[in-house]
């Protein structure tokens, strides 16, 4: 089947049938040959012009999409940095208040908390999947129904993620988080929180999720997560007890290919 790119020249070639027929009918005359040559040159020129216009329109659309995506990416980055700046300013104000009141023990606790958060973000950024790291670090910029507490165990290295294929790990984690996100209730008295931990056990990468808060349609969560998992990722067997409480905690094992 011809592609869209060849349509202009196909139409031009098809139009040559008319002067070709004239050449066949009036074999002895010279004017059909001249008509055929002039027609062929004109058809080629018109086809070239039409193809150039089509190419320019396609390039313009691609540039427009790329520009729009770039603007959105920059805005997401600005929003993420703004949230982080707001958090650090709050921590610094608390620290400054404790120092002015000479409450050294509480000031040290604030510093330790800041250090822990910086180390957590650093481990996320070294996960081995830039797309997943960006998703986790910018989560609060596009989700206001729940908070995400993502952590990477100290033993997990980027090499382990690469061994299990970064794309597989990325799809697994984002798919699981989104399954919880769409079920989180918007307006509740309690805070909706999802804790996601990337760990390693028995030589396998594990992604553990635990949800606290109000939600809906939880009964289909496990089936939806299992359906969205890529090849090489599997849900661990569920435990016994209250079905809703069991659904709040899911563990996915991602094996290397």
pLDDT of residue 78: 62
More confident residue, 36 or 175: 175
Question: What is the reported pLDDT for 123?
Answer: 85
Give a three-class secondary structure readout of the chain: CCCHHHHHHHHHHHHCHHHHHHHHHCCCCCHHHHHHHHHHHHHHHHHHHHHHHHHHHHHHHHHHHHHHHHHHHHHHHHHHHHHHHHHHHHHHHHHHHHHHCCCHHHHHHHHHHHHHHHHHHHHHHCCCCHHHHHHHHCHHHHCCCCEEEEEECCCCCHHHHHHCCHHHHHHHHHHHHHHHHCCECCCCCCCCEEEEEEEEECCEEEEEEEEECCECCHHHHHHHHHHHCCCCEEECCCCCCCHHHHHCEEEEEECCC
**Cut 0.75: pTM above it:** no
Residue 71 to residue 148: CA distance in whole angstroms = 25
CB neighbours of 188 closer than 8 A, spacing ≥ 6?
A: 213, 214
Band (164; pLDDT cuts 50, 70, 90): low
Mean pLDDT of the chain: 79
pLDDT tens digits for range 55-64: 677 666 766 6
- Residue in 235, 238, 251 with CA at minimum distance from that of residue 199: 251
Q: Is the pLDDT of residue 148 over 90?
A: yes
| Confidence at residue 72, expressed as pLDDT on a 0 to 100 scale | 58
pLDDT of residue 248: 92
Q: Are 39 and 67 in contact (CB under 8 A)?
A: no
Least confident of 6-15, 94-103, 243-252: 6-15
Give the model's confidence band at 189: pLDDT under 50 very low, under 70 low, under 90 confident, else very high.
Answer: low
- Over residues 77-91, mean pLDDT: 70
pLDDT at 70 over 60: no
DSSP strand pairing (147-152 vs 193-201):
parallel
Domains of the chain, with CATH numbers? 1-125 (no CATH), 128-257 (3.30.565.30)
In which order are the strands placed within the sheet that holds 147-152? Answer: 147-152, 193-201, 204-212, 249-254, 233-235
* pLDDT at position 201 over 50: yes
User: Rounded to whole angstroms, how far apart are CA atoms 117 and 84?
Assistant: 11
Q: In which band, very low, low, confident or very high, does the pLDDT at 3 lie, cut at 50, 70 and 90?
A: very low
Quick: pLDDT tens for 6-53. 555 566 666 666 667 776 777 777 777 777 677 777 777 776 676 667
Q: What is the pLDDT of residues 202-230, one digit of tens each?
A: 778 899 999 999 998 899 999 999 988 98
179 pLDDT tier (thresholds 50, 70, 90): very high
Q: Which of 38-47, 167-176, 237-246 has the lowest mean pLDDT?
A: 38-47
Please say whether the dihedral angle defined by the alpha carbons of residues 164, 130, 185 and 151, taken in this order, is positive or negative: positive
pLDDT for residue 243: 87
């Amino acid at each position: 089947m011809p592609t869209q790119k060849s349509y202009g020249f196909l139409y031009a070639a098809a139009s040559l049938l008319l002067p070709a027929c004239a050449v066949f009918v009036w074999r002895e005359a010279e004017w059909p040959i001249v008509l055929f040559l002039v027609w062929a040159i004109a058809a080629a020129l018109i086809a070239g012009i039409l193809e150039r216009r089509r190419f320019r329109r396609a390039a313009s659309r691609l540039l427009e999409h790329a520009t729009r995506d770039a603007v959105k990416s920059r805005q997401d980055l600005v929003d993420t940095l703004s949230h982080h700046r707001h958090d650090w300013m709050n921590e610094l104000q608390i620290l400054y208040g404790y120092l002015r009141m000479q409450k050294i023990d509480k000031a040290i606790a604030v510093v330790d908390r800041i250090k822990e958060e910086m180390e957590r973000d650093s481990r996320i950024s070294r996960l081995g999947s830039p797309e997943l790291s960006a998703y986790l670090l910018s989560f609060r910029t596009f989700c206001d129904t729940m908070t995400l507490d993502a952590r990477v165990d100290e033993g997990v290295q980027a090499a382990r993620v690469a061994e299990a294929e970064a794309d597989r790990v990325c799809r697994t984690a984002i798919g699981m988080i989104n399954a919880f996100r769409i079920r989180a209730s918007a307006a509740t008295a309690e805070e909706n929180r999802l804790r996601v931990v990337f760990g390693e056990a028995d030589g396998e990468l594990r992604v553990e999720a635990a949800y606290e808060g109000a939600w809906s349609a939880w009964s289909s969560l496990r089936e939806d997560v299992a359906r969205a998992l890529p090849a090489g990722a599997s849900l661990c067997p569920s435990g016994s007890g209250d079905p809703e409480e069991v659904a709040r905690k899911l563990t996915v094992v991602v094996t290397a290919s």
